[in-house]
Structure 1
Amino acid sequence: MLRFMSVGDSMTIGSAGEHTWRYRMWQHLCATYGGPFTFVGPRETLHDQTTDAPTSYAYADPDFPRAHLAGWGEGWHHMAPLIREMVSTCRADVLLVSLGLIDLGFYTDAEQTADNVRVFVAEARAADPRIRMAVLPVIPNIRAEADPSFATQVTRFNDLLAKTVIDLDEPDSPLLLATPPASYDIHTDTYDGTHPNADGEHKIAQAFAEAMYEGWGLGGPYTGS
């Protein structure tokens, strides 16, 4: 049984009424992965925007393993101290990580955020020396479009993230950098310039799916639409 854990911020936890990219990934793996698998993590809920709390179970389709490690307003800064225990207790085999926007927006600059990536990787491997990780850069968002200094930090962090992935990749614990689809457009793939709509959910799932297929031979070409 291959156990995937999605680690992320508001784009990963999703909001009440949404499918989430986690669901799209579930559909994809059901169609392309030949062995048993599941999703694991300490949390199952969506974020309820009316109460600003992670208390909703109102998935557009709840019929999938909803476990995850994601939270509205959380970043590498928050997840690095948690990941060792979560990998250990949830027995995760593969981490699908989408973090960084919150860090750069509120907590750390590009260099400090990259340092937290290194801590995260080390802590995950301390729990399981054979853990596999696929990491998504900070994807296009409305703040980067409107704020040139923030856009510079995003570009700088994504460059550092790519170098960090190369530096830390190991045969026994491979690290992949996912590439957002070139067609990702905040005006058509999000509902507010940051959070994915149905099209955006598919494109984030596609980024992880194609990275795992091309890098590890896991699954197949993305089957969503």
Structure 2
Amino acid sequence: MIVGDSISNGYEGDHTWRHRFWQWSQQQQWPAKFVGPLTGTAKPEDPHPPVAPAPRKRVQPEASEPDPHQFTGVYAKDVDAAFSNGGSAHYAMWGRQLGQDVKTIKPVMDGLKAKQQLPDVLLVELGFNDIGWRGAGVGLVDTMRHFINQARAANPNVAIALANVPHRTTLGGANPQLPQRITDYNAALAKATPTWDTDTSPVALVDLDGALGCDPNATTCATTYDGLHPNPLGEYRIAAAFGAVLHKKFGIGSESPRVPGTVPDRQIGPPTGLAFDGTQQGVTVTWPKVFGAHAYDVQWRDITTDKEAAWHGADRGPWPATSFNRWDQSWQFNNEPYDGHTYQVRVRATSGGLKSPWSEPVSGVAHPSTAGPPTTLTVNAGTGWVDLAWTPPTGPHTDTINRYALWAYDEDTPTVVSRVIGYKPSARTAHVTGLTPGHHYRVFMCTWNAAGEGKPRIANTVVPN
């Protein structure tokens, strides 16, 4: 059973390294049956309109496990039929942490045992999300030890091929401690792994970091499409790293996997069939999903008075404009759209650094049916808090307001971190706590209705003391 995170799960349209490893197992005539509760890749998000922030004090219970429907994405169109129709079982999920799987690996293995599918070999690729997003370091080695103990509780004789954590390319000024934390963890893991190895339950280290070979100071990596997740070459490299360990350490197969000399990169085509709707937030564009696209870049321009106006990017800082096949123009950063103006939009599909050509543009006239902002908005600051009071708007569509949204921008953080808080339509005041004393906060308030989010009322900048 392959146990991992997004590196092993893959995204719709990928072959995945799991497929390349499966191919090697078939070539070796190794009677391997791949098991696990999942079978697919990560599925692209379904298109949907903008979502209003939940009302304050409404706490949504956190799901104990992700919805398995998220992992029903299909593979590249040329994968072996025997793989996609029965050989692709796994236990790898996008965003997964080792700390989560410590709690679930035994129940998952017990469930498979009840189906006569108890794994006798685990291929484990976990840890990046713990280090990258949770700040873990050398202490994660102890978490891995607990994971192994839990797996052995389900099968005392399980063999485990254990990958270290790959470095990713630079994130610039974001997460500057990440490279050293990965280096320190990998060194500690290499030292600990031999102490976990037993005659009945062998454990061997897989050098995933070396297989991908990404430089944390570089901006690109030949084995990935985004600095971390494997491209077609990276998929072969990871499969070869695991296969070599299984062959050399566990005596499986007649030879280690080979990496082809050349591996063509996959291609994605441009979006087609764009449709414009000006009646919601003012500019809504939809299009059929592009197979293999992870996200979409969007450019727009106001051509009301200039048919050759410059294009504006709709990306959100380092993130693409949208992760699914719909884009709704927001007031943020530009205060667009304006009622009665004519807008033109074009889209391209992306997969990390891989980008399609731009689509043919689509045009339309904006007639938003959102409501206006509060008529007045006052803000007073205290010790780590602000108090707000507002009066409801009047005019078109204000009888359909179903939410107020408060935006609090911390202007003293490098990326202008914002908080968005929802309030019921009957609310007229708010008390916001947890703000950083001495920081400058720009406070906006918008209204929401079924059409989306209207433009904001902007209060004066305040500084909690």
State the TM-score, normalizing by the size of structure 1. Answer: 0.90
Match for residue 222 of structure 1? 257
- Count of residue pairs brought into register by the alignment: 220
Match of 2:97 among 63, 75, 79: 75
Match for residue 132 of structure 1? 159
Instruction: Please give the residue correspondences for 1:39-188 in structure 2 after superposition, counting only pairs within 5 Å.
Output: 39-51=34-46, 54-60=70-76, 61=79, 63=81, 64=83, 65-90=87-112, 91-143=118-170, 147-180=175-208, 182=210, 184-186=212-214, 187-188=221-222
Matched residue SS, 1:73? coil
**1:163-216, Cα deviation, whole Å (9 max, x unpaired):** 221111111000000123746344211111111010000000011000111111
Match of 2:24 among 6, 16, 28: 28
Please tell me whether residue 193 in structure 1 is matched to residue 227 in structure 2. yes
Matched residue SS, 2:39? coil
Matched residue SS, 1:19? coil
CA spacing shift, 1:164–1:185, aligned 2, 3 Å: closer
Which consecutive segments of 4 or more residues in structure 1 shift more than 4 A?
143-148
Q: Is the 8 A contact 1:15 1:48 kept in 2?
A: yes
Please tell me whether residue 208 in structure 1 is matched to residue 209 in structure 2. no
CA spacing shift, 1:165–1:145, aligned 2, 3 Å: farther
Q: Cα distance, 1:36 vs. partner?
A: 1.6
In 2: Cα distance, 1:150 partner to 1:196 partner: 19
Q: CA RMSD in A?
A: 2.1
Match for residue 6 of structure 1? 2
Q: Is the 8 A contact 2:161 2:245 kept in 1?
A: yes
Match for residue 32 of structure 2? 37
Q: Is the 8 A contact 1:141 1:194 kept in 2?
A: yes
Match of 1:19 among 15, 21, 28: 15
In 2: Cα distance, 1:137 partner to 1:144 partner: 20
Q: Is the 8 A contact 2:5 2:125 kept in 1?
A: yes
Q: Cα distance, 1:138 vs. partner?
A: 0.5
Between Structure 1 and Structure 2, the one with more strand by share is: 2
Q: Cα distance, 1:62 vs. partner?
A: 5.9
Aligned residue identity for 1:79: D
In 2: Cα distance, 1:178 partner to 1:15 partner: 23
In 1: Cα distance, 2:41 partner to 2:80 partner: 11
Q: Which has the higher contact order (CA 8 A, sep 6+)?
A: 1
Structure 1, gaps ≥5 residues long: none
In 2: Cα distance, 1:162 partner to 1:106 partner: 22
In 1: Cα distance, 2:154 partner to 2:13 partner: 34
Q: Cα distance, 1:160 vs. partner?
A: 1.4
Aligned residue identity for 2:180: T
Q: Cα distance, 1:144 vs. partner?
A: 7.2
Aligned residue identity for 1:9: D
Q: Is the 8 A contact 2:3 2:92 kept in 1?
A: yes
Q: Cα distance, 1:28 vs. partner?
A: 0.6
Matched residue SS, 1:36? coil
Between Structure 1 and Structure 2, the one with more helix by share is: 1
